[in-house]
Structure 1
Amino acid sequence: MSRIAARFADLKRQGRGALIPFVEAWDPDHATSMALLRGMPEAGADLIEIGMPFTDPMADGPIIQAAGKRGLAAGVKVADVLTMVRDFRVADEATPIVLMGYLNPILSYGPERFCVDAAAAGVDGLIIVDLPTEEADVLLPYSNANGLDFIRLIAPTTDDKRLPHVLSGSSGFVYYVAITGITGTRSATAEHLEAAIPRLRKATNLPIAIGFGVRSPEQAGTASRIADAAVVASALIDTLSANLDADGKARPGAVEKVLDQVRALAAAVRR
């Protein structure tokens, strides 16, 4: 059983959903993002998403776009993201880690080499935002061979006929994109989610995580109650960016402010 499957099984026994916070690699530098990554489990993260910065993040809104630009300006490469995970695993063997990013850097790295190195570093799952189902064979055989969960994105516009096709080969959990549009721009209503999630349940037995627009503790609590997990990204990046100085460096206390936000989100999910 993968770390992701084991974590969701444990949470199901506890009768609650998961909190999945997001950290952009090397935003605004290696030390700050590493401190956030290491602090998130104690703050209440059940799983963690790490964003791999890319120059053309088509699904990301301005908040995460800016975070990616800061990471790229700091010099991050794909290999550096894997090193982050490897360093995290020295002290934490339990928390599932999911990499979220785009296909081009993986193609440049080499899909098979990437999956081998990601698994060796301690990565548990992959979300590749711009990889269409029809082209999944570019990566899926290598992720399967190395025990990496392949996590699919489902949009509100994915109809019942296409759902089984999109979900084919998926594992770990299903990521429901709660809005049509880019990250961090608006939020889905509870009524929309209560209508959408049962439709997905009919198509998959995998846990369902809700992302794109989950910002507040109240929204995280609602998402984790209706589905199985809440993904929070832009709200955390927003807090970090508000605590950078004029040179783009993290001010004293910036990391703790983000971790306090994770604690508030976790408390709402646990309620």
Structure 2
Amino acid sequence: MAARDPHRFVNDLDDEAIDRLITRLESRAKDGVFTNLIEKYSSQLLRANPAQVLEVGCGTGAMIRSLVRREEFTGSAVGVDQSIPFIKAAKALAQQEFIDERLEFRTGDAHHLEFPSAGFDTVIANTLISHVTDPVRVLEEMARVVKSGGTVVIFDGDYSSLTYAFPDYDFGCQMDSALANASFCNPRIMRELPGMLADIGLQLKTAWGDAVVEIGKASYFKSFAETYAPYVSSSGLMTAGEVEHWLSVQQQAMESETFFAACNYYTYLLGRA
């Protein structure tokens, strides 16, 4: 069976699998590792005081909710995702946080955004571009709906750098690769993205990278492994026994505080050419 990115094909998943993804998205948003990464680009965006913000592929809305909750954000925002359960969860969570009056959620396809051109000051793809079928098409749509002088934000991981420590180096490398390929349509897209911009009509304003590393205690990469490792075996990239063994070794490493995992993340702030 070919690998099927669970986020790209979320509408094909059963309720239990969707609930696991919702739990992962919300737990990730509360993890200090992730919130620090989002803070770096959110702070830069808010300096321009954007009035209209769109997040494409918003999932449960964790990122855009965090932006709207900030005191310095005085505008309004929209989140779009292809998954009806994700959007349902996003709406409920926004209501619980009393921010739903300034934050709208819609179902929609990132490849065909149902918004007029030049309607947003800021358009964000937060860990989206690694999951989509056609990254160029999604970037073209983001470029279309952002205003002249506005900002397009692309934040995602370079999942070809994803690695978990494992005593058997060769087996560990196989599992790292399988985990990336089972979880992401485009695990290397962030390396390729700068070379794609000119043809799309976007220009690079600034960019940076962050190495996320957990040694000893684990949180961010723990939930990552527990959520996505099952897709390695269901895709046929590794056997169920191999995946279970790998997970058990990672659990032992966490308990003994020898755990190690790492991945590089990149942020691109882009403008319309």
Q: TM-score, normalised by structure 1?
A: 0.33
Q: TM-score, normalised by structure 2?
A: 0.33
> Where is the strand percentage greater, Structure 1 or Structure 2?
2
- Determine which structure has more spread, i.e. the larger CA radius of gyration: 2
